[in-house]
């Protein structure tokens, strides 16, 4: 069994306050015997006002906060890997990247990073409009982390969930678990969040671990919550609900992966489809 911790957050526009939430959760998770902590998309800064957010993103602050997370593991001697769902960082071409980081407790530094590939550009029926590509540069690489407490871990972020080809690629890499940190809107979350997560777990025959943002945020948006853990059979092992932030734990039976893949060897049976 691998015990993991999932942090559901209501991140705001103050990175210092958000960091304190993560720090407290990491300490609690480590003391409770968890081997990994998963945080949501935009854990350290959730701000739709891009002009205001730029003062932090385009400064040295993102690098400093990464160093503080490294120090958190080392100084407090936390026996805990930390998967920071994502944070905004400077990228090329005058844009930003929505980037995940994986911190290995033995090294105390981020050893793997992933930039969100799919940009959320949409006009919703309720009047909300999002143009992620105006500010963010999409990633170009499929990323997995070798040898974590949950086996080989695939990294995705939020809107990536809607693109099965990415999860197929992670399935081909024999990922045992896939992280899907998110900040889903309430309308799209209510309609599609759980069904898509269960489908991706079934397709990849892997655990799906989805730490989410929840509630009303300082920047005016409202997110769906319902952080989930789904097993390779599609069974929901944990649902944190859509009301409050908090920390929850889940035990993953990693032998379940082999059982499911032997019962329905769809990854091994897959063939190319002609155009």
| Catalytic residue numbers, as ranges | 41, 116, 158
pLDDT of the residue at 225: 98
| Residue 269 predicted with pLDDT over 80 | no
**Under 8 Å between Cβ of 145 and 171:** no
Tokens of 65: 């906060």
- Does 232 map to a domain? yes
| Residue 109 predicted with pLDDT over 70 | no
| Residue 275 predicted with pLDDT over 60 | no
Q: Which residue has the higher pLDDT, 265 or 143?
A: 143
- Does 222 map to a domain? yes
Chain centroid to Cα 85, Å, comes to 4
- Does 273 map to a domain? no
- Does 274 map to a domain? no
pLDDT of the residue at 272: 63
Torsion of CA 240, 216, 159, 248, to 10 degrees: -20
pLDDT of the residue at 121: 72
pLDDT band at 132, cuts 50/70/90?
confident
Strand partners, 239: 228
Look at the chain and report how many structural domains it folds into: 1
The pLDDT tens digits of the residues spanning 181-200 come to 999 999 999 999 999 999 99
* % of the chain with per-residue pLDDT over 90: 79
pLDDT of the residue at 120: 81
* % of the chain with per-residue pLDDT over 70: 92
Closest to 230 measured CA to CA, from 210, 247, 208:
208
- Does 184 map to a domain? yes
* CB burial string 5-27: b at 16+ within 10 A, e below: bbbbbbbebebeebbebbeebbe
| Residue 270 predicted with pLDDT over 70 | no
What is the extent of the structural domain holding 251? 2-264
Residue with tokens 């500010």: 135
Q: What angle do CA 4, 250, 38 make, to 5 degrees?
A: 40
Q: Which residue has the higher pLDDT, 204 or 125?
A: 204
Mean pLDDT is lowest, of 56-60, 235-239, 241-245, 265-269, for 265-269
Query: Where residue 180 sits, what CATH number does that domain have?
Result: 3.60.110.10
pLDDT of the residue at 94: 83
Task: Tell me what the mean pLDDT of segment 53-77 comes to.
Answer: 90
The pLDDT tens digits of the residues spanning 157-178 come to 999 999 999 999 999 899 999 9
Residue with tokens 């990294």: 155
pLDDT of the residue at 75: 80
Task: Tell me what the mean pLDDT of segment 243-255 comes to.
Answer: 97
Tokens of 109: 């530094």
């Amino acid at each position: 069994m691998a015990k993991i911790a999932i942090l559901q957050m209501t991140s705001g526009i103050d990175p210092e306050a958000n960091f304190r939430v993560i720090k407290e959760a990491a300490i609690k998770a480590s003391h409770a015997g968890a081997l990994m902590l998963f945080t949501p998309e935009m854990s350290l800064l959730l701000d739709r006002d891009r002009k205001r957010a730029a003062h932090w993103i385009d400064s040295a602050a993102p690098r400093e906060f990464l160093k503080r997370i490294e120090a958190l593991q080392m100084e407090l001697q936390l026996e805990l890997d930390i998967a920071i769902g994502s944070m905004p960082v400077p990228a090329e071409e005058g844009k930003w990247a929505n980037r995940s980081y994986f911190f290995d407790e033995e090294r105390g530094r981020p050893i793997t990073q992933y930039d969100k590939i799919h940009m959320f550009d949409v006009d919703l029926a309720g009047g909300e409009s999002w143009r992620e590509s105006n500010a963010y540069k999409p990633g170009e690489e499929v990323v997995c982390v070798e040898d974590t407490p949950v086996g080989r871990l695939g990294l995705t972020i939020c809107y990536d969930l809607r693109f099965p080809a990415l999860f197929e690629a992670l399935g081909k890499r024999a990922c045992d678990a896939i992280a899907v940190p998110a900040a889903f809107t309430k309308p799209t979350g209510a309609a599609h969040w759980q069904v898509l997560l269960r489908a991706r777990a079934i397709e990849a025959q892997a655990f799906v671990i989805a730490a989410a943002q929840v509630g009303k945020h300082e920047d005016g948006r409202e997110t769906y919550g319902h952080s989930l853990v789904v097993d390779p059979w599609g069974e929901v092992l944990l649902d944190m609900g859509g009301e409050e932030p908090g920390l929850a734990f889940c035990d993953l039976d990693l032998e379940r992966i082999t059982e499911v893949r032997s019962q329905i060897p769809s990854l091994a049976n897959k063939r190319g489809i002609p155009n």
